[in-house]
Amino acid sequence: MKIRILDASDVARVLSDRDRFAEWQQLARACPWATAYQTPAFARSWYAVYRSTFAPLIVEGRAPNGALVGLLALAIDRRNEEVVAVGAPHALYHGWIATPAASDFILGALAACGRELSVDQLTLRHLPKGTPLDWMHRMRGGVRLATRAVRRGLVSLDDITVEASLHHDLNGAGPGRLETLTARPQLEAVIAEIASQYDLRGAARNGGMPFRDDPQTRQLYLTLIDEPDLLHAAVLKVGDTVVASHVGVINGPSVSLGLVTCSPAHAARSPRRLLLLLLARQLHDEGYRVLDLNPGDDEARNQFATHADHVQTLTVFLRRRAYAGHAAVRLAARAQHRTLAVTGIASRVSEVRRRVSSLGLAPALLAALQGRLARCWSLREFRMYGLPASEVPKTESGADLRRDAIDDLLLYRPFSANEMSTKEFLADAVQRLEEGQHVYTFAADGVLLHYSWLIERTGRAGSDFGHEFGLPGPAAVLWSDYTWPDARGRGLQTRSIHRRLRDAAAAGRTRMFIGVRAENWVSRHNIEKVGFRPWASGWAEYRLGRVKRWITYAQTGEAAGAVTLVARHALK
């Protein structure tokens, strides 16, 4: 067998030549374990979109008669010269394809990579099920290999239990409808909303925003849908609103669960669950047999699995130093439990350093001292204001603010180290939206300048100092107002109050409430000039680490509530 490595110009000729493209397609069809990620159609799309970041690289094997019998599609990262599988990180399955008779192709391919490429290691994440591994014991030339089994959940679309759960779930799911997207214009019309939903959930979960951090991701999916029978895309809509979506790759009789998004504002309707159930039924009707939930321990996905198997991740160490580094990492992982206390200390030190670097040493120390003094000996007041719906100002002020705009939330950046990190802010925002709250935003020049929240119907409200106010009847609460420091003085909070009051009144609320710390004179001025009047005050008296809380009402001035809470307050 003749092994040859093709560089970027050679790969371009392969993909543009009809005969050689067809030759690759024929090999993929002949390979028992091939997935869509090893086809020339996927490679052509990914190479085209990421040509500025990755240089195409292919290792091919040919029989003595010149027939193509093996192929490993790779790419060189232009930023760091690392070699990765084609599609990384978008491809769920990495690997090579070969005819059953060419089982030794991968041995020659890896040996050629070690000789001709300046690369230490190659990781093939999630080999397709059925990829042969019996060649591993025959690997020579100082090349070391490591494998790791990863659980994969699967849904048998012929399974009767899936069908039964579908009908049960659809009975009370509401007027959601699933729309299949088969052409680029259809996907293009909703890709922005899909990207916002996906980035919001990712940032809240692990701090990552795939679409924002990699703008080419959007173009990749638009390019993939142009390829016949490669992408399956669907959106779940309520009216004209996209409340959930799925975009996955077709692998013959199965579909891989790819991008799954849902709108947190519609979480009460369980749109993600409804999407997956409707999708399973539609895929069954379209003739697919399996929904691949992807390798990994995602509990939210795997709860739908009817069965599971395992696939392998293969790491090839082409240099001894790479394997030595891998061994050192494994040793460190085994000792990890011994370093938990040290890790906690390091985390705390890192947080202190972050604050000092943001504020400066003196302001950081002063802020820390003021916080401790306030919790040691002080009397704090949280003032609650009320306004009847009949007195809501008749104004269109605030029309320029957006309601529940996820793409605005993604523009949040902490102004200083004292503010929530982006991950913390977005995780909190997702939770609030899922609870049915509404957010009002104003963004400009790529920065979230103002946000504020509205609870349209509630009987209780809290304070910054741990109080709980019982409100008269179902009321609306305006809360958590924030304006970027450089944008203050533009009337954003006042406009936001006007907008939220109008929306609360339109929703049928008869009483509106808003709370603020008594020392925040600017916000109190904005609140009072709209027409709000003091309704109650929550008091917190701090004495040497203990706190006593009580509430007084503006009408009587008497303490409210049968119990005055006394609790220990941990100094931080």
**H or E, element range at 15:** helix 8-16
Please give the structure tokens belonging to residue 564: 């005055």
User: Which superfamily is assigned to 372-568 in CATH?
Assistant: Gcn5-related N-acetyltransferase (GNAT) (3.40.630.30)
pTM > 0.85: no
Beta bridge partners of 537: 383, 552
Which of 38, 32, 39, 102 lies closest to 68 in space, CA to CA?
A: 102
Segments in 171-215 forming alpha helices (H)? 184-206, 210-213
CA atoms of 245 and 226, how far apart (whole Å): 19
Those residues with Cβ within 8 angstroms of residue 438's Cβ, 6 or more apart along the chain or in another chain: 265, 403, 404, 453, 454, 456, 500, 503
Q: Match domain 158-288 to its CATH number in 3.40.50.2300, 3.40.630.30, 3.40.1390.10, 3.30.460.90.
A: 3.40.630.30
CA atoms of 382 and 429, how far apart (whole Å): 23
Query: What residue ranges do the domains of the chain occupy?
Result: 2-150, 158-288, 372-568
Residue with tokens 């090349």: 143
Q: DSSP secondary structure string, 57-115?
A: EEEEEE-TTS-EEEEEEEEEETTT--EEETTTTT-S---EEE-TT-TTHHHHHHHHHHH
Please give the structure tokens belonging to residue 264: 């947190």
Q: Do 2-150 and 372-568 come out as alike in CATH topology?
A: yes
Tell me the CATH class for 2-150.
alpha beta
Q: Each residue's pLDDT tens digit in the chain (572 positions)?
A: 899 999 999 999 999 999 999 999 999 999 999 999 999 999 999 999 999 999 999 999 999 999 999 999 999 999 999 999 999 989 999 999 999 999 899 999 999 999 999 888 999 999 999 999 999 888 776 788 999 999 999 999 987 444 444 443 433 445 678 999 999 999 999 999 999 999 999 999 888 999 999 999 999 999 999 999 999 999 999 888 999 999 999 999 999 999 999 999 888 778 888 898 899 999 999 999 999 999 998 887 888 899 999 999 999 998 877 767 766 666 665 555 444 444 444 445 555 555 545 545 666 566 556 656 666 788 999 999 999 999 999 999 999 999 999 999 999 999 887 889 999 999 999 999 999 999 999 999 999 999 999 999 999 999 999 999 999 978 999 999 999 999 999 999 999 999 999 999 999 999 999 999 999 999 999 999 999 999 999 999 998 889 999 999 986 444 443 333 333 333 22
**Can you say how many angstroms the Cα of residue 363 is from the centroid of all Cα atoms in its chain?**
34
CA atoms of 237 and 7, how far apart (whole Å): 45
